[in-house]
Amino acid sequence: MISETKVDDKKVVKFATTPPMSTYLVAFAVGQLEYIQGKTSGDCTVRLYTSPGKKNQGKFSLEVGIKALDWYSKWFGIDYPLPKCDLIAIPDFSMGAMENWGLVTYREVALLVDPTKSSTRQKISYRTCCRSRTCSFLKWWTDLWLKEGFASFMEYVFVGANYPDFKIWLHFVNDELASGFDLDALRSSHPIEIEIDNPNELDEIYDNITYAKSNSINRMLCNYLGEETFQKGLRIYLK
């Protein structure tokens, strides 16, 4: 936001021009909210918004979000291009999270951690927080598996590098590899890359083939090539 002007009984709000972005990643949030905030080493303001009375439950995710932005910027060799990154916990949000650029929306259970009731399993849910930093843009939905696979895999790379005590790669085998095998073994399964002719077909490919199988393929490639070579390839791809 760059200015607010009152005109009679209304308010005119002007926003700064954004970089070009996909229309499905544009978002606004309106409501009674409170927030906590911090800054990355690159001076990007990170805010975490919650319903009134819950902002203290967002401290851990805010810490992780700031660390993730700094770490991903260094790992990919690409600076985060916006001056701010907002995270918002939404009650009854139908999806786990949505990586809207600059305003990432989450289900409350995926973002908030009650410090009096926290557990390792709750904290592992911040992988969802990390994946929002790694999204890239599609030319068309046929390439969905590339975006989701890389984003999902990089969640684990970040957590493994920054929180080794969580032993996140053990969770990978249970949560990703096994679930990908389960769906891929069915006769009704589909290829990892499938031609999409119109948006109405999208629901058919938001499944564990697109997420878990592509995630597992990236892990296989990374292990085969070595992380350094895999990293160089991703940097070239994203630039």
Binding-site annotation: residue ranges for Zn(2+)? 148
Residue 78 in tokens: 């690409």
Residue list, annotated binding site: 148
Rg (CA), the chain: 19
Dihedral (C-alpha) 229, 232, 233, 235: value to the nearest 10 degrees? 160
